[in-house]
Amino acid sequence: DVKVTQSSRYLVKRTGEKVFLECVQDMDHENMFWYRQDPGLGLRLIYFSYDVKMKEKGDIPEGYSVSREKKERFSLILESASTNQTSMYLCASSGQARPNTEAFFGQGTRLTVV
Amino acid sequence: GNSVTQMEGPVTLSEEAFLTINCTYTATGYPSLFWYVQYPGEGLQLLLKATKADDKGSNKGFEATYRKETTSFHLEKGSVQVSDSAVYFCALIFYGNNRLAFGKGNQVVVIP
């Protein structure tokens, strides 16, 4: 079974902390994505990576950074957590874009910043 | 840019009712289109897809047809069950472009 695994289902962090969200995929996919999901706003792309050490900003990159040192792992970093970053974070991966390419998602990390 | 629009608001219906969720897209060219489903407490999973005009994707009793003339990909199911209660997302991707664009999603609640 193909799998995208996020390191935590639930996290509670304090304002100002540096937070790491980890994502690992076992499908040898080139592309990996971080989204946040908020009620009424759907999925918004934070960052994505199409190769090791490569990254591109999504729609809402402010306050976030990413790291992709190995093909299977994509980390999202909140440099200084704030309460408005309380959200559900979803990681996804996909192969190179072809007509049948689909994305596979992790189960999500619900982050609460207090 | 490329975007996906889904009908506003949650959808509440009775078991065995007919379900339609509207999805339209704005794109230059011809993307591949997807419907994803998110069950409570889980991540998204692919429900169905279509890669060219007039293709029909189907799975678990759900269907959607890629309509180029109306730039639409509406999701339908003839008889819903309580287990279909979930959030449904429409999405698109272009061949050669790695970025997947999503609609805002629709919460579907099926009442016994």
pLDDT at position A35, please? 95
Residue pair A46/A37 in contact by the 8 Å Cβ criterion: no
At residue B104's C-alpha, the angle toward residues A68 and B26, to 5°, is 90
Q: Which of B75, B55, B58, B72 is nearest to B4 (CA)?
A: B72
In tens, the pLDDT along B30-67 reads 788 999 999 988 889 999 999 889 999 999 999 999 99
pLDDT at position A57, please? 93
Contact B43 A105 (CB under 8 A): yes
Closest residue in B to A42 (Cα–Cα): B104
Alpha-carbon distance of A67 to B24, in angstroms, equals 34
Residue pair B100/B2 in contact by the 8 Å Cβ criterion: no
Of the candidates B34, B42, B89, the beta carbon closest to that of A43 is on: B89
Contact B44 A92 (CB under 8 A): yes
Q: Which residues of chain A have pLDDT under 50?
A: none
Give the type of residue at A43. L
Confidence grade of residue B97 (pLDDT, cut at 50, 70, 90): low
Give chain B positions within 8 Å (CB) of A105. Answer: 36, 43-45
Of the candidates B96, B100, B104, the beta carbon closest to that of A103 is on: B100
Contact status of B96 with chain A (Cβ, < 8 Å):
yes
Q: Which of B77, B1, B63, B60 is nearest to B33 (CA)?
A: B63
In tens, the pLDDT along A81-97 reads 999 999 999 999 988 76
Q: What is the mean pLDDT of chain B?
A: 92
pLDDT at position B95, please? 67
